[in-house]
């Protein structure tokens, strides 16, 4: 195969190359992902998403319940990730763009390596909401009483390690609370923050600061993220969920269960009001259809 049909999309500027491969005909390997996500010689993206039918999957098909479609997610460095919160909303927008259905009328169940996630759409705002399933503390309840389980050193935050909480959203996150939004500005994410203990499969690292006191029960925070397998990105949906979970842990039971999280690429909302699940809402856009000549890449 020398040409593939693809698209470009983003959710709060977390951008993806979207490959429609219903029957699993395209061999997606690390080298192809790197070439397609290259911002100069390729299309450019923080990651690549292949939309493939679950009945075309090999072993992974058994995990996908009733979902017809699977989000095969790859980071820009070619590594495989379990889940992407912005990506799964963009998958729903891609599904609509391809004329496969209308998510505002019928929710879409998307298979992922972290289980099936159901996406709905508010037809007025055009925002998509994803039922992300439960969050958990990576190191268990012992971390809950201490409020931290790790330390992070990052450029621009001084030499002293910052306390952090590790949150599992299907993929790994390490959340650092900053004292003021000003600290977010001084943070330099040009190089990877050092996390101790070193997470065995790596981690996405979020830095969060509360912006305003809660209004009508809604908290408001800002975050920046260094994504595993990418570097600094403009947004991370699972990261925003991890930040809301950590802020609620730190704030105690009376702290907000709904959070507006500002990211460099926009804003998303995270709802923790159902203790059994986390709901992420935000925009998703498809901005281009692509006919890619694979022989010209790299
Ligand atoms: N940007 C995504 C997360 C993508 C995967 C992540 N880099 C990982 O390796 O876990 C999101 O919106 O959640």
84 is catalytic: yes
Please check whether the two domains, 3-133+284-296 and 136-277, share a CATH topology.
Answer: yes
Return the H-helix or E-strand segment holding 225: strand 218-227
- Condensed to tens digits (0 to 9), the pLDDT of residues 174-199 reads 999 999 999 999 999 999 999 999 99
Is 75 marked within a binding site? yes
Contacts of 276 (CB under 8 A, 6+ apart): 134
User: Is the ipTM of this structure higher than 0.85?
Assistant: yes
Helices (H), the chain: 30-37, 85-97, 141-146, 181-186, 237-251
Whole-number pLDDT of residue 141? 78
Tokens describing residue 68:
């017809």
Is any atom of ligand 1 closer than 6 Å to the C-beta of 236?
A: yes
Kindly name the residue from 7, 36, 52, 84 that is annotated as catalytic.
84
Domain spans of the chain?
3-133+284-296, 136-277
Q: Which fold has domain 136-277?
A: Diaminopimelate Epimerase; Chain A, domain 1 (3.10.310)
Rounded CA separation 260/266 (Å): 10
Rounded CA separation 165/152 (Å): 10
The dihedrals phi and psi of 296, each to the nearest 5 degrees, come to: -95, 0
Is any atom of ligand 1 closer than 6 Å to the C-beta of 170?
A: no
Return the H-helix or E-strand segment holding 168: strand 162-168
Q: Of 62, 63, 49, nearest to 21 (Cα)?
A: 49
Rounded CA separation 119/42 (Å): 29
**pLDDT band for position 60 (cuts 50, 70, 90):** confident
Chain centroid to CA 52:
19
pTM of the model: 0.97
Whole-number pLDDT of residue 165? 97
The ligand 1 atom nearest the CA atom of 83: 5
Whole-number pLDDT of residue 176? 98
Whole-number pLDDT of residue 66? 87
User: How many angstroms is it from 216 CA to the middle of ligand 1?
Assistant: 30
Rounded CA separation 60/41 (Å): 32
- Condensed to tens digits (0 to 9), the pLDDT of residues 9-26 reads 999 999 999 999 999 999
- Condensed to tens digits (0 to 9), the pLDDT of residues 131-157 reads 999 999 999 877 777 889 999 999 999
Chain centroid to CA 227:
9
Contacts of 116 (CB under 8 A, 6+ apart): 64, 65, 66, 67, 109, 110
Q: Is the pLDDT of residue 63 over 90?
A: no
Rounded CA separation 151/242 (Å): 16
The dihedrals phi and psi of 66, each to the nearest 5 degrees, come to: -90, 0
Sole residue written with tokens 């505002």: 104
Whole-number pLDDT of residue 20? 97
Note the CATH architecture for domain 3-133+284-296. Answer: Roll (3.10)
């Amino acid at each position: 195969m020398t040409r593939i049909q693809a698209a470009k999309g983003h959710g709060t500027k977390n951008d993806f190359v979207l490959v429609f491969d219903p029957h699993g005909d395209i061999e997606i390997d690390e080298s192809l992902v790197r070439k397609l996500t290259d911002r100069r010689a390729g299309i450019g993206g923080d990651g690549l998403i292949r939309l493939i039918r679950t009945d075309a999957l090999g072993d992974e098909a058994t995990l996908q319940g009733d979902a017809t479609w699977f989000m095969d997610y790859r980071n820009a460095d070619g590594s495989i990730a379990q889940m992407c919160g912005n990506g799964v909303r963009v998958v729903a927008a891609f599904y609509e763009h391809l004329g496969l259905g209308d998510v505002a009328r019928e929710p879409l169940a998307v298979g992922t390596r972290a289980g099936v996630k159901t996406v709905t759409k508010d037809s007025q705002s055009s925002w998509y909401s994803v039922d992300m399933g439960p969050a958990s503390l990576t190191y268990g309840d012992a971390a809950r009483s201490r409020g931290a389980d790790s330390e992070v050193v990052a450029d621009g935050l001084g030499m002293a390690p910052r306390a952090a909480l590790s949150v599992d959203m299907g993929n790994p996150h390490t959340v650092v609370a900053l004292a003021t939004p000003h600290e977010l500005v001084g943070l330099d994410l040009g190089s990877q923050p050092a996390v101790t203990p070193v997470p065995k499969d790596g981690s996405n690292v979020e830095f969060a600061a509360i912006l305003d006191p809660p209004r009508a029960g809604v908290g408001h925070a800002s975050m920046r993220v260094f994504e595993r397998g990418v570097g600094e990105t403009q947004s991370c949906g699972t990261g925003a969920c991890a930040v809301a979970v950590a802020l609620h842990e730190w704030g105690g039971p009376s702290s907000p269960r709904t959070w507006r999280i500002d990211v460099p690429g926009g804003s998303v909302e995270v709802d923790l009001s159902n203790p059994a699940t986390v709901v992420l809402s935000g925009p998703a856009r498809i901005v281009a259809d692509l006919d890619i000549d694979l022989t010209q890449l790299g």
